[in-house]
Chains A and B, each alone.
Chain A
Amino acid sequence: DVKVTQSSRYLVKRTGEKVFLECVQDMDHENMFWYRQDPGLGLRLIYFSYDVKMKEKGDIPEGYSVSREKKERFSLILESASTNQTSMYLCASERQGSPRNQPQHFGDGTRLSIL
């Protein structure tokens, strides 16, 4: 069974801090994703990666960066946290395929509050 683990369930940080959210998957999936979930907006894609050291911007990359140094680990970085980045952050992984019809497997999320 696929396991996607996010390092923290709840996190409280202050404005201006650099914040790291970590995600690890154990199924050797090529594709990994970071989303944020906000009420009424669903899941919005921040960044994704198709391979180690590769990254692609999603729909809302501003204020974020990512790192993928190892296949199983995908990190989301808030360079200078702001209050509008308070949200639920979800990491997902997916086996690479074409057409792209493999379901994504999600972690349980990190609820991040920026004060």
Chain B
Amino acid sequence: DQQVKQNSPSLSVQEGRISILNCDYTNSMFDYFLWYKKYPAEGPTFLISISSIKDKNEDGRFTVFLNKSAKHLSLHIVPSQPGDSAVYFCAASDNYGQNFVFGPGTRLSVLP
């Protein structure tokens, strides 16, 4: 059973609009969450993270929201740019580092 789920395999958004990528998790012991971006033929690169003591973290055009009660987080990209087209992975970790899990990824296409 997947502990971290990204239920949308793909998403298309018009340039300049908002992209919202969603992630759900099942393990209540997770307390640190990260988003990675992956271009074809490259390794994933770290994008933004959030600790469970916060409900929002912002870095430029990227904002991550965490709803612990719903075990749900989302990544907002505003405004979306064609260079944002990539696969986005959500990842979750428990405080002890014993459990670190990636989601299956969502492919974002930003159309010019």
Residues in A with CB closer than 8 Å to B42 are 108-109
State which residues 56-106 of B face A: CB under 8 Å: 89, 93-97, 100, 102-105
A90 contact from B6, B9, B44, Cβ within 8 A: B44
Residues in chain B within 8 A of chain A (CB atoms): 4, 6, 9, 31-32, 34, 36, 41-46, 49, 51, 89, 93-97, 100, 102-105
| Besides the known contacts A44-B102, A98-B97, A109-B41, 15 further A-B residue pairs in the complex with CB atoms under 8 A apart | A4-B43, A90-B44, A99-B32, A99-B95, A100-B94, A100-B100, A101-B32, A101-B93, A103-B36, A103-B46, A106-B36, A106-B44, A107-B43, A108-B42, A109-B43
Instruction: Write the chain A residue with the least CB distance to B45.
Output: A106
- Can you report 26 residue pairs joining A to B where beta carbons are below 8 Å apart? A35-B102, A40-B9, A41-B104, A42-B6, A42-B103, A42-B104, A42-B105, A43-B89, A99-B31, A99-B32, A99-B95, A99-B97, A100-B32, A100-B95, A100-B96, A100-B97, A101-B49, A101-B51, A101-B93, A106-B43, A106-B44, A106-B45, A108-B41, A108-B42, A108-B43, A109-B43
